[in-house]
Amino acid sequence: MRHILCAALAASLAAPALAQAPMPSPEDIASRDTFTLAGGAGFVPDYEGSNDYRIIPVAAIRGQYHGISFSTRGSYLYVDVVPRSDKFDFDVGPIIGARLNNRKKVDDEVVDLLPELENVFEAGGFAGVSLHGLTNPYDTLSFRLDVLHGFGSDHRWTNFNPNVEFSTPLSRTTYAGVSLGAEFAGNNYADYYFSITPTDSLATGGLLPVYDADGGMKNWKLGLLLNQSLTGDLLHGFSLFGVGQYSRLVGDFRDSPIVDDRGSAGQWLAAAGLAYTW
């Protein structure tokens, strides 16, 4: 869930913004070297499928140097190696990071009896297209597919995440965006995070029945972001961000005992904080 939360946070930093007069052109914005640092607090589920929530610190960076852009989404770094063009972009690059869904801090007394999971190193890439200037010169409609492969003796999998995002200025100091996405997970991923082995069931005194999860579509998600400048120019200085998202587990992931018996298929998250752009 941290990955989902901070992906939305990074998106709130990713949109080009309208500055105070004179307004720079979209081409000028796209060609600038820039760096943004953001931090705040997030309200997230204890684990993927939990109905208990907690507050965690969140942070993200984003920037561009000589046409090569980069951003963090949770514990993952994305680097877009194709410079932006005028109306139509190809977005392509590597992803590297770690999945931190280790269930170390869980309020549910039954799920807490399960063995802790390892943080899993993942790497892969993304590819997509972005269209600019559909409703005004500064908006962006993006279609992107992320592919992440897990590495390790007990957790090798490949997940696919299609995403659609639209962002646009509401004024010279306010930006908004919406996103729609999904995740398709492999059998090994489903087994590692959502299956209950006989040993796991025994550890819970039989309160969690044995369950064998298969891969497939894991969830869908819908997000909203707002970014408000405090200095009158979102291209430089301080700004406030706020994000919210609802996601829902489906299929074998929804039917896992840690979700169906002890948690919830519907997952809410929110975050707010402060950003500064150089």
> What confidence tens digit (pLDDT) does each residue in 115-168 have?
989 889 999 999 999 999 999 888 999 999 999 999 877 778 999 999 999 999
**The predicted structure's pLDDT at residue 151:** 87
Q: Which pLDDT band, with edges at 50, 70 and 90, does 46 fall under?
A: very high
**The predicted structure's pLDDT at residue 268:** 95
Q: With pLDDT > 90 as the criterion, what percentage of the chain qualifies?
A: 69
* Three-state helix/strand/coil letters over 61-103: EEEEECCEEEEEECCEEEEECCCCCCCEEEEEEEEEEEECCCC
Contact between 127 and 120 under an 8 Å Cβ cutoff? The reply is: no
Query: How far, in Å, CA of 42 to CA of 36, rounded?
Result: 19
Confidence (pTM): 0.85
Q: Is residue 20 scored above 80 in pLDDT?
A: no
Residue predicted with more confidence, 201 or 170? 201
Residue predicted with more confidence, 21 or 64? 64
Q: What is the DSSP letter of 20?
A: S
Average pLDDT over the chain reads: 88
Q: With pLDDT > 70 as the criterion, what percentage of the chain qualifies?
A: 91
**The predicted structure's pLDDT at residue 235:** 82
Residue 26, both tokens: 């979209």
Average the pLDDT over 58-76 and give the result: 90
> What confidence tens digit (pLDDT) does each residue in 83-109 have?
877 788 899 999 999 988 888 889 999
Residue 94, both tokens: 């590597």
Domains of the chain: 2-277 (2.40.160.40)
Query: How far, in Å, CA of 155 to CA of 15, rounded?
Result: 35
